[in-house]
Structure 1
Amino acid sequence: MTAPQHGFLTALAPAHRDRLAALAREVPIPAGARIFEEGGPADRFWIVRSGGVALDVHIPGRPPAVVETLGEGDLLGWSWLFAPYRWHLGARARGEVRAAEFDAGRVRAACAQDPAFGLAVTALVAEVIAHRLQATRTRLLDLYGLPGAATGGAAG
């Protein structure tokens, strides 16, 4: 697979980007497909090539709340990098999606084999996690009219 010229992979040095891209395979994801469920095994991840994906969180007694929508170039899934390798959110395709799919075990093995590569991938995924945490908090506060929605006062 050729590395995209924008999005998640562009933050990596070219050698690391090429190494990660070599572990990918192109996959179609049908419109409306449930890609993964919150709490399910996180054994792969994707970089969205086209289309959109809604990330949602389970709230007891309510329908799942969409906390973020991902598009071209975005990383779909980060739970594969940290034990216990379970999804923290759910995901559904919002139309036909094309994505680069990665086997999490193979990528973790490549990270262990090359510490510089592993550090680069981990740092990049950590940035995604920080962004998603803030987006989730903001969206839930907005959805349920909770105090603090406008302040963005999430501690690090």
Structure 2
Amino acid sequence: MDRNIYEKTSASCNCLNIRRASQAVTEVYDEFLAPSNLKIGQYSLLKHINQSGPISVSDLALLIRLDRTTLVRNLKPLEQSGLIEDISKKGSRNRQLKLTSKGIETYKSAEEHWKKAQNFLEEYLGKDNLDIFTTLLSKIEALVP
């Protein structure tokens, strides 16, 4: 019997189904973003810093609804790659992040790949289904204040 049949069958647990769907969507975006050497999480951080920067780590964590410790861990590779920098004054406890010129260039290049991933999902799911899905995701996200 083909094992893929079992892997593609929905579980009776809603949480597991949502996690599986999240993993599948993440893989799609990561594939499209591969030429930019970014994963979707890294792209998202660059996008938010670009739109909001300079921005403190705490404010960024609130904006993207991510635990501050997890965020700091995810920012390190971007800093080490020279894509973001801390522009706060020396000794300041409040880091202010912004994209470097390399970060802006990488973000803009990756944005084209991200748009292709967006279009792929819209075509795959259909615009109406994607609108319903987005509404449902917002409702699910509202479960936790």
Determine if the TM-score, normalized by the shorter chain, exceeds 0.5. Answer: no
- Pick 1 or 2: higher relative contact order, CA cutoff 8 A, min separation 6: 1
Q: Using structure 2 for the length normalisation, give the TM-score.
A: 0.31
Quick check: which one's helix share is greater?
Answer: 2
- Determine which structure has more spread, i.e. the larger CA radius of gyration: 2
Q: Using structure 1 for the length normalisation, give the TM-score.
A: 0.29
Quick check: which one's strand share is greater?
Answer: 1
